[in-house]
Structure 1
Amino acid sequence: MAPPGFAADRLSVGRPRAGLAEQVGAPVDLVVPWSVVAGVVGLCLLLAVLASVLPTWRSLRHRPARSSVGVAG
């Protein structure tokens, strides 16, 4: 079973290929480097998670309270 959106992806990628094949009058092979696409998507996901987690972590980490009571100056 194809993943959701697979048909739409095939249509959006396939239409220019079909148009080019029609213009040149020959079959046109379409090569999609899925490993590169998956790597870019994974990197974007990692950056998005880091961009949301790091500021939250920094604002919520425990910082000992400082008190000036009893400090000789």
Structure 2
Amino acid sequence: AQGIALAKEKGKFKGRKLKFTENDPRLQLAFKLYLEGATEKDVERQTGINRRTFQRYRKKFNIHRT
């Protein structure tokens, strides 16, 4: 744990690469479906993106229904 903390301070420990980028077609489709009223479970079935993963990306990119 101390080694990881030191590496983070030096900028050498950044964690895992993201699974999806913001302009990934599957993620964009998932956002579109969600904004059109599909449930998270429906989005998971249609895109193959895990529900929890989708929730994290919605939070990260600030996607909310109005």
Q: RCO greater where, 1 or 2, for CA within 8 Å and sep 6 or more?
A: 2
Provide TM-score, normalisation by structure 1. Answer: 0.27
Provide TM-score, normalisation by structure 2. Answer: 0.29
Computing the radius of gyration from Cα coordinates, the structure with the larger value is 1
Q: Which has the higher helix share?
A: 1
